A and B are shown apart, each in its own frame.
Chain A
């Protein structure tokens, strides 16, 4: 904009007006931006900042650095091929004595125990039994006597790997991977490799719920889009009322309906269909039923609006050209609902991926999704690095799917505009 000014300066009469208009426009734009700015700053503080903080925690590695600073410094030049030199042992002994005095050994022990099971004992027993600074030259011998683990290379590689300031440890752990003593990425030990299964479970539950929503939602959306407005508005209440009802109310209601002495089991028993109550809740079935119930409106509404936009003339044209009803439906109607199917399915799938409350309340231990573990590691076991890493993977999946969704919806608006 500023580059254009000198060339325009030759036409003496037009310039002031042009420039004034431009300046007015620029002020207007600045004012418009100033109106958006408070919200942007607010979201930076209450949303983007905290999430960035969580992402940072998934790679941050501060515990060992802070508790054993001299050891970290001494290991910086260690090539990891053989046992470290006497200097590193002396540094560790001095660090442990200082940490014991400050009461911080547990912090480093907790972090190192994530990487090598049993490290907590190694560090705390050493802290307990190391009475004083070893004589110069005897640190290796003294520590080795207290705990033979200090004579093993893997113990020291673990400390070096955890030296920070950043680490891929948690992100690798979230994908069931780890680094071996040589620094190569390998599969994690079977007892720690649980997260891939949880991600697969989360994915499968979300996929199943999306499919159920599509199967149940399609006929309803079709009915609502086809009926005359008066009746479809009335029926729409059946979709919107549950949509607006609190998630907790609906989850609570499903428990009342499905529990072993619940309404469904009682009715079936009364009708003589079953003798013993069926197990309908606190398992995968209950999770899928409750989640489908919560997410179904998110499928019906986009489907409805895409079907509403389809002119009945197309179907009449197909019929008049001799297409049997099924052919007309499959080849004319269905393809036009595809954008709605895509948008609705993606929306339901994205929302399902992050579900926490419903599985937590109506699922069993084997039905908990990834969000449950993020919450568990945050509040119960306080393994914040792992919680953040699992969160980072879930966030990445959500953002990628949301981008696809955005493209899809945007594309729909464009084609919708062209049709008009």
Chain B
């Protein structure tokens, strides 16, 4: 059953055809929202219906000239980049430590480090709202960056940890035996080898922060509203075509992130295959 040529009986062929038909429908279901919303953002009319009355870039113009939308894009970038950097430092250190640490508590510590991914967003957000408000961390960039870092770091620990697992520790020993200091060995031997893993981790971290909205809903003041937060209010109030332009911009950023990640993965596989 590994390929079509081994499908001999009619019933098998029917089953295979059914699989293809159902899968195609599911692929359409998966892609439909993205494909439906894209052309609407280029509409010259203000109704979100087909057929389009004409094509124009007026909604993108609206987005770019609106201080509210541009400010939210800036906020998303600031918070995304800052929490990515912070989670990279914390996550990479932790992954390096966990790779060497031998203890029966290790699964417990790992479960704790990964738990922000599993705990429902509302619970984290409510907890942060209660405990950050009295110390002035709600309605501040710092509070949001810290909260997003907590959510993003598990992805860094996982991706960097996976890279370290396939890393040959003999290389670090060789560097040491050739007289490299630990820092030098890290900078010149370990770092270049785990760099793709770090980059994937950074992309995951950025995507996590960039897409997060529940914590922002609870903790951001009017000054810190991010792009998803602005979309949330936009969807609640009234879906204007400007939102579809914002959606296309967000999706483009996602596609760039995904493509970069895929390129990194391919490069990694090629390197492994070659070596």
Chain A interface residues (CB < 8 Å from chain B): 28-29, 31-40, 42-43, 45-54, 57, 216-217, 219-220, 222-223, 226, 228, 235, 238-242, 244-257, 261-263, 266-267, 293, 296-297, 312, 315-316, 324-326, 329, 350, 353-357, 361, 371, 374-375, 378-379, 384, 387-388, 391, 394-395, 398-399, 402, 406
| Other-chain residue from A47, A254, A402 in contact with B33 (beta carbon distance below 8 A) | A254
> If A242-B30, A249-B37 touch, does A53 touch B122 (CB 8 Å cutoff)?
no
Query: 10 pairs across A/B with beta carbons < 8 Å?
Result: A32-B97, A36-B98, A39-B113, A53-B131, A238-B30, A248-B211, A252-B235, A325-B9, A371-B121, A375-B122
Name the residue on B nearest A256 (C-beta): B48
Mask of B231-257 contacts with A, CB within 8 angstroms, 1/0: 110111001000110010011001101
With A257-B33, A312-B1, A402-B118 as contacts: A374 and B123 at CB distance below 8 Å: yes
Q: Are A36 and B213 in contact (CB under 8 A)?
A: no
On whether A255 and B235 interact (CB within 8 A), knowing A36-B97, A296-B26, A354-B122, the answer reads yes
CB-CB under 8 A from A47, the residues of chain B are: 115-116, 119, 124, 127, 150
CA distance A277 to B26 in the complex (A): 24
Secondary structure call for the B interface: helix
Give CA–CA (A238, B12) in the complex, Å. Answer: 26
Closest B-chain residue to A379, C-beta based? B218
Known A261-B48, A296-B30, A375-B126; 19 more pairs at CB < 8 Å: A29-B101, A35-B94, A36-B94, A36-B113, A43-B112, A53-B131, A219-B23, A238-B27, A239-B30, A246-B228, A253-B32, A255-B235, A257-B33, A316-B1, A354-B123, A356-B121, A361-B236, A378-B218, A391-B123
In angstroms, how far is the closest chain A Cβ from the Cβ of B128? 5
Among B14-22, B55-63, B172-180, the stretch in contact with A: B14-22
B23-36 interface code vs A (CB 8 A; 1 in, 0 out):
10011011111101
Name B182-211 residues within 8 Å CB distance of A.
207, 210-211
Q: Is A248 touching B254 in the complex (CB atoms < 8 A)?
A: no
B26 touches A220 (CB 8 A): yes
Chain A residues near B130 (CB-CB < 8 A)? 50, 53-54, 57, 384, 388
B residues 103-143 in Cβ contact with A at 8 Å: 103, 109, 111-113, 115-116, 118-132
B169 CB to closest chain A CB, in angstroms? 12
